[in-house]
Amino acid sequence: MSWKEIFKDGNDYNEKSIIGFLAFIVMVIVMIADVVTGMSGADLVINDSIYNSFVMVVLGCFGIAGIEKFAGRNNDNTTNTKHNHYDHHNDECEEEDRYDRRNNG
């Protein structure tokens, strides 16, 4: 799979989960760095707006991915195909109508 295929709609990866996971990893690294610098006596200054931005990205990405998972997102786009279930049903009904007209006069 090439790099460009990752951003297409028909891939096996959930981009929102990947971005959310990467943002979560950055948050964990910052918290570990904060603990390590705190134990060494130094103070690690973290801008609240930057940290809150990472929190929002994580919650947004995982929230949207979770809603899509439980809402049953349809990846195969069966409604956009040329023939769907209703088309086949209508075709069968039309064939039955033609049969009835031929046999019943």
Q: Tens digit of pLDDT for each residue in 82-98? A: 444 555 555 566 666 66
Tens of pLDDT along 14-41?
A: 788 888 888 899 989 989 998 999 999 9
Query: In the chain, where are the structural domains located?
Result: 13-75
> Which string of b and e fits 22-60 if b means at least 16 CB within 10 Å?
ebbeeeeeeeeeeeeeeeeeeeeeeeeeeeeebeebbee
